[in-house]
């Protein structure tokens, strides 16, 4: 089955700086890579996703890049703000949405924005 590794487990950055979270996946058949943000005690919320026919996608301060050859994808957050503090999860699947047989999640990155 699919295996998703996520690094780092904790990331502390100064407000206004950029943050980068990296993930690798093992199954070359995976073609959908979403990123979720989870605040304490809340449900995960989709913030951005990318499909395997695209190398990069941006949405305001958030961007995701995908390298299919190396089987890795990354989340980039620029001009970080206090409200960006949360746990971020990457995931991989075949198909969009929840995946044809579910999403495989990384273990998460706790992003801390220092004032």
Partner 1 sequence: NAGVTQTPKFRILKIGQSMTLQCTQDMNHNYMYWYRQDPGMGLKLIYYSVGAGITDKGEVPNGYNVSRSTTEDFPLRLELAAPSQTSVYFCASSYLENYNSPLHFGNGTRLTVT
Q: What is the contact surface with partner 1 in residues (CB under 8 A)?
A: 1, 4, 6, 34, 42-46, 49, 89, 91, 95-108
Beta strands 45-51 and 32-38 are: antiparallel
Q: Which is nearer to partner 1, 4 or 77 (CB)?
A: 4
CA atoms within 13 A on the CB side of 45: 9
Q: In whole angstroms, how close is the CB of 33 to partner 1 at the nearest point? A: 13
Q: In whole angstroms, how close is the CB of 54 to partner 1 at the nearest point? A: 12
Q: Which is nearer to partner 1, 74 or 108 (CB)?
A: 108
Q: In whole angstroms, how close is the CB of 18 to partner 1 at the nearest point? A: 23
82 in helix, strand or coil?
helix
Give CA–CA dist 90/76, Å, rounded. 12
| Cis ω for the linkage preceding 8 (within 30 of 0) | yes
Q: Count the Cβ atoms, other than its own, within 10 Å of residue 45.
A: 11
Token digits of residue 92: 């991989």
Q: Which is nearer to partner 1, 46 or 82 (CB)?
A: 46
Q: In whole angstroms, how close is the CB of 96 to partner 1 at the nearest point? A: 5
Q: Which is nearer to partner 1, 17 or 58 (CB)?
A: 58
């Amino acid at each position: 089955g699919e295996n998703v590794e996520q690094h780092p487990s904790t990331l502390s950055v100064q407000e206004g700086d950029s943050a980068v979270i990296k993930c690798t996946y093992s199954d070359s058949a995976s073609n959908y890579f979403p990123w979720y943000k989870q605040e304490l005690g809340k449900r995960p919320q989709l913030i951005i996703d990318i499909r395997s026919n695209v190398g990069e996608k941006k949405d305001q301060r958030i961007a995701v890049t995908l390298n299919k050859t190396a089987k890795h994808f990354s989340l980039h957050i620029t001009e970080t703000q206090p409200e960006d503090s949360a746990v971020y999860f990457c995931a991989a699947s075949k198909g969009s949405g929840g995946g044809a047989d579910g999403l495989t999640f990384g273990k998460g990155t706790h992003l801390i924005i220092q004032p």
